[in-house]
Structure 1
Amino acid sequence: MFRALLSRSFKRQGGVRGAVFPSSRPSQGWLAPSGIRKPFDESLRKLDQPYPQPYYSYDDNTHKWMRFEAGPGKKVPAGVEPALDLRRLALYSWNVDARPRFPQARMDAALHHIEELASKLPPTVAVVIFLQECVELSLDGIRDRGWIRERFHVTDLDSGAWGQLEFGTTALVDRRLRIASCFRVYYSKSRLMRDACFVDVELGAGGAAPLTVRLCNTHLDALSVLPPYRPRQVWLIAQHLRSPAVGAGVVAGDFNATEAYDRTLHSENRLRDAYLELGGREDAPDSHTWGPQAQTALKTRHPAVRMDKVLFTGPLTPRSFERFGIDIQLWNPMQQSYILDQGYEKPWISDHYGVVANFDVDS
């Protein structure tokens, strides 16, 4: 959402960033007993450093989401094999908008749309979905959807990793892929307490050993405030993507790219922009991912911009880049009427378009 979120983007306890933030939902019927989320002290997080987190995979036998820890020697979900035949990655990224009304209905429509798009891909393509501005109720839509249970590992099924934020990010990873590492990096330089979620996966590399690709889902700071923090955040992401522990890296999400300096952050950090690599042009109408579906009052004050991006490094070749989520609307008439009353031209489910990039692993 392109609006001043300072008043509701996070809930400070006494204004102290390191305040204790216990689990708000300590026991969940959808989660196997071994996976109950534990409370933690927010002050124990190391800012700008990897903070390990679990991921979840649905077990058809127990009909529960099972909690897994990533790393050498750790147990992996059933059915995960070395993905030597998966040499192409389709990465979908979408800010699904954290406005307070109808989050589950809007998430249902978003996932239905992505499912329709992904169903057209050949089985040799690994699918990963990054979502930003998820709220607790929208996570219910992820957790309960049959397609997600069958096809994906999920990094976040509750808001535990978001700390004091009202909304956050989650990643859905093709369950045929082995997750070698899963962690978050909480930005020390952030006015909105933003972070980056990283997942290391193994993709095939032409019969050779699998290539470990580090994937990053992020939502950078908004607002044009000095000093700007987005440059520092992209720099930090780039350091983790170029870690010697991995062979390639991709970051996608809402970059809130509204200023001139945002246009060069990828090149300054030795990252490549998938849209530009494939011939896209800044300011071209087909580049804009925020604006066309914003509230009319906002559109009259702010120009359409390319907020959402996919950047990469390493032996990956971008094959295609497209926007999606265009003109996707709520289905329920009552919900439609409410959204229209809020100043939107149509009952769109998000003020952002999504972006999808397809990559080949180089031989």
Structure 2
Amino acid sequence: MGLLSRLRTQLVSWWQDIPLPTDIAANFQMWHEFDGTQERWRTVRTTAPETSITPGAPNNEDTRPTVEQPSYNLVTWNVDYSSSHPAQRLTAILSHLFALSPAIDIIFLQEVSREALSSLLSNLEIRRDWFLSDADGILPAGQSFLTITLLSKARFRETIGLSPVWRVPYTSRFGRDALCCDIFAPMASDAPGPTRIRLINVHLDSLPIQPSLRPQQVSASAALLRCAGRGVMAGDFNPVLPADADVVEHNGLIDAWAALRPNDEGFTWGVRGDEPFPPNRMDKVAIFGVKVEDIGVLTPAFVENTGRVREHEDSDSVVWSDHSGLKCSFKLVES
């Protein structure tokens, strides 16, 4: 990590009012939305609220009524870059997500291949209804896929505006990073302004390689959440070694599944029985300073070569992904 990169990160962090650890180098990028008049994706100017907070002392002189805090609905899904028909599979996943009720506000995708990304960028509902973290069609150097975060326009355009989006490179054998952004909950009764909630989309290092770098990666993300005061880290945690077992709790985060469903296995990978490793809860939601109200597994179906969705597998179909999706709803916990 170079000194100039750290200094640049601190400058942008100050200028954009983004609280970050002092020892990281972040790669800032732009949100994108589709411009229907020009038939192209364009960058979106981001605007931070005039006043945002991390946890602090209440203002005893403030007589504003308590604000009913909204719930945010998030889905994370590793969409499997290596199986055949990536475009058809991703289209089927998105169609399934768009039909869910209540509506999804935030989508975290991992393992988005170049072909899947092209399909995502041409999807009519995506173009109409979503902001994308990445829309240039370019994968990172040496990478076969990337993570992408999507925010619902219906939820975020008319609220407080978009904050910047950025990536923090991990110490990683595979070039992985944390894809970060902040959203802002409505003004709480004891706060001078909207409350920051940090979102971190992750795809931690794969495979049971010793020593595991995943504890370092979770630690780096936990530091990002603590700087913001509140947030959610979700995605593919790849917990395949004993060192990964308690890494969430060890970093002061709460494993949302374990908290809400302690007696359920919650496997998101390996349930078909034909994978090289045993079933595992690969995908997780870790929280800090927010409350998860509900969480559940989204089971993939199958898609034919024609693109038609099937509930059961046959010789002409392929499963949407080797991972199941994970859906959760969370809200701000007022101090």
2: CA distance, partners of 1:256 / 1:351: 13
Normalised TM-score (structure 1): 0.72
Shift of the alpha carbon at 1:146?
2.1
Query: Given that residues 322 and 356 in structure 1 are in contact (C-alpha distance below 8 angstroms), is that contact kept between their aligned partners in structure 2?
Result: yes
1:1-27 residue CA offsets vs partner (Å, 9 max, x unmatched): xxxxxxxxxxxxxxxxxxxxxxxxxxx
**CA, structure 1 residues 211+159, in 2 after alignment: closer, same or farther (shift >3 Å)?**
same
Partner residue of 1:220? 204
Q: Which of 273, 282, 295 is residue 307 of structure 1 equivalent to?
A: 282
**CA, structure 1 residues 231+254, in 2 after alignment: closer, same or farther (shift >3 Å)?**
same
1:292-336 residue CA offsets vs partner (Å, 9 max, x unmatched): 146x2x2xx42100000000101x111000000x14111336999
What SS class does the counterpart of residue 242 from structure 1 fall into? Answer: helix
Partner residue of 1:111? 94
Query: Given that residues 256 and 292 in structure 2 are in contact (C-alpha distance below 8 angstroms), is that contact kept between their aligned partners in structure 1?
Result: yes
Q: Equivalent pairs: percent with the same residue?
A: 29
Shift of the alpha carbon at 1:61?
3.5
1:211 aligned onto 2:182 = no
1:324-350 residue CA offsets vs partner (Å, 9 max, x unmatched): 0x14111336999xx9669xxx62110
Partner residue of 1:94? 77
2: CA distance, partners of 1:212 / 1:198: 13
Q: Which of 87, 105, 108 is residue 130 of structure 1 equivalent to?
A: 108
- Give 1:358's aligned amino acid: S
Superposed, which structure 2 residues align to 1:116-195 within 5 Å?
A: 116-117=99-100, 120-121=101-102, 127-160=105-138, 162-175=140-153, 176-177=155-156, 178-187=161-170, 189-195=171-177
1: CA distance, partners of 2:26 / 2:40: 28
Superposed, which structure 2 residues align to 1:40-59 within 5 Å?
A: 48-59=24-35
What SS class does the counterpart of residue 239 from structure 2 fall into? Answer: coil
Shift of the alpha carbon at 1:247?
3.4
Superposed, which structure 2 residues align to 1:36-75 within 5 Å?
A: 48-70=24-46, 72=48
- Give 2:178's aligned amino acid: A
What SS class does the counterpart of residue 246 from structure 2 fall into? Answer: helix
- Give 1:241's aligned amino acid: L
Q: CA RMSD in A?
A: 2.9
Give the unaligned 5+ runs of structure 2: 1-22, 50-66
Shift of the alpha carbon at 1:48?
4.8
1: CA distance, partners of 2:68 / 2:31: 23
1: CA distance, partners of 2:173 / 2:166: 21
- Give 1:65's aligned amino acid: W
Q: Which of 218, 230, 235 is residue 214 of structure 2 equivalent to?
A: 230
Partner residue of 1:329? 302
Normalised TM-score (structure 2): 0.78
Query: Given that residues 273 and 312 in structure 1 are in contact (C-alpha distance below 8 angstroms), is that contact kept between their aligned partners in structure 2?
Result: yes
- Give 1:121's aligned amino acid: P
- Give 2:164's aligned amino acid: S
Shift of the alpha carbon at 1:69?
4.8
1:290 aligned onto 2:255 = no
Partner residue of 2:224? 240
1:277 aligned onto 2:259 = yes
- Give 1:262's aligned amino acid: D
Stretches of 4+ moved more than 6 A in 1?
339-342
- Give 1:88's aligned amino acid: S
